[in-house]
């Protein structure tokens, strides 16, 4: 799936499935992910030291195996979004958005790329309109760029309706860890206060025709939120999946060793 396909699926009411990488650097890993059937993979550069060159190689590799490559940019600065798209990513996940104006700036950067400078600002602020030729060119060039907005705090929830009025958003990412911290219940994802906040984000996004969902590391939580209307599913990460796979088997082997020892006594 590419950016065009991912946007079509999300705006068409479909559920999309993805994961995140934080440690993967070698583009040869993309072949493994390609066989798993993910719709998209988010390459993290907010909490990971992955540099721009490494990220660009991963973007090309994931796209080459039919997975939509999304870059989680470090912050809400519009230039980070432009750099991500210029590096070959089909979309960006912009973390920790709290104000409609910062979201509008990010979306404008993506949808008006490569327009920049004073004219860009006037267009973004509605003080000038593009001529038909330039407008058609920019729309065609940026039609398949995926823009995902991170809602990860109480402040973001308070401004959610205004944020979702910004035209050009494709999906809402819910940051469970950050959100739970701002709610005063760190990592307590079964707390009624957290469930209420998460549910509000999903329902409000659905009302605006947008999929929403959190980054989950447990299958039961994914299934729980699927049943609550989540259509943007982001499951696990490279490091966690690798650790869990080895740990499950190793614990099973060690348990078998203990049983064998007990039987010989």
Strands 212-216 and 68-72: unpaired
For 237, the token pair is: 């990460």
225 falls within a domain:
yes
Q: How far is CA 121 from CA 128, 136, 149, 161, 244, in A?
A: 9, 18, 21, 24, 47
Residue 79 belongs to some domain of the structure:
yes
Q: Which pLDDT score is estimated for 256?
A: 62
Query: Helix H segments across 37-174?
Result: 52-64, 78-86, 100-111, 117-124, 132-142, 154-158, 160-164
- Which pLDDT score, from 0 to 100, does residue 126 have? 92
Q: Are 180 and 220 in contact (CB under 8 A)?
A: no
- The answer as to whether 256 is a domain residue is no
What per-residue confidence (pLDDT) applies to 249? 86
pLDDT for res 261: 46
Q: Is residue 260 part of a domain?
A: no
Domain total in the chain? 1
Report the interhelical angle of 78-86 vs 100-111 (nearest 10°): 30
Is 62 inside a domain boundary? Answer: yes
State the residue range of the domain holding 75: 3-239
Terminal Cα-to-Cα distance of the chain (whole angstroms) = 57
CATH number, position 39: 3.20.20.60
Tell me whether the omega of the peptide bond preceding residue 114 falls within 30 degrees of 0, making it cis: yes
Tell me the whole-structure pTM to 2 decimals: 0.92
Candidates 141, 208, 198; CA nearest to 171 is: 208
Residue 49 lies in a domain: yes
Distance CA 69, CA 41 (A): 5
pLDDT (tens place) for every residue of the chain, 265 residues total: 999 999 999 999 999 999 999 999 999 999 999 999 999 999 999 999 999 999 999 999 999 999 999 999 999 999 999 999 999 999 999 999 999 999 999 999 999 999 999 999 999 999 999 999 999 999 999 999 999 999 999 999 999 999 999 999 999 999 999 999 999 999 999 999 999 999 999 999 999 999 999 999 999 999 999 999 999 999 999 999 999 889 888 888 888 655 554 554 4
């Amino acid at each position: 799936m590419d950016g065009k396909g991912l946007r079509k699926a999300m705006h068409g009411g479909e559920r999309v499935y993805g994961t995140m990488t934080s440690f993967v650097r070698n583009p040869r890993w993309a072949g493994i992910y390609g066989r798993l059937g993910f719709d998209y993979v988010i390459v993290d550069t907010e909490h990971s030291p992955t540099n721009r060159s490494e990220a660009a190689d991963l973007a090309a590799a994931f796209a080459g195996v039919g997975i939509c490559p999304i870059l989680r940019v470090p912050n809400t600065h519009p230039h980070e979004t432009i750099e991500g798209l210029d590096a070959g990513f089909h979309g960006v996940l912009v973390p920790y958005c709290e104000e409609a104006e910062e979201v509008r700036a990010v979306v404008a950067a993506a949808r008006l790329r490569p327009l920049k400078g004073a004219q860009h600002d006037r267009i973004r602020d509605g003080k000038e309109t593009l001529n038909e030729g330039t407008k058609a060119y920019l729309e065609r060039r940026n039609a398949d760029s995926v823009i995902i907005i991170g809602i990860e705090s109480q402040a973001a929830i308070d401004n959610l309706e205004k944020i979702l009025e910004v035209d050009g958003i494709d999906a809402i990412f819910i940051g469970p860890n950050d959100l739970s911290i701002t709610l005063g219940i760190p990592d307590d994802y079964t707390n009624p206060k957290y469930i209420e906040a998460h549910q509000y984000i999903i329902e409000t996004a659905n009302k605006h025709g947008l999929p929403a969902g959190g980054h989950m590391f447990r299958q039961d939580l994914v299934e729980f939120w699927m049943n609550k209307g989540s259509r943007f599913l982001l499951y696990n990460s490279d490091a966690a999946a690798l650790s869990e796979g080895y740990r499950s088997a190793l614990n099973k082997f060690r348990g078998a060793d203990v049983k064998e020892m007990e039987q010989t006594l």
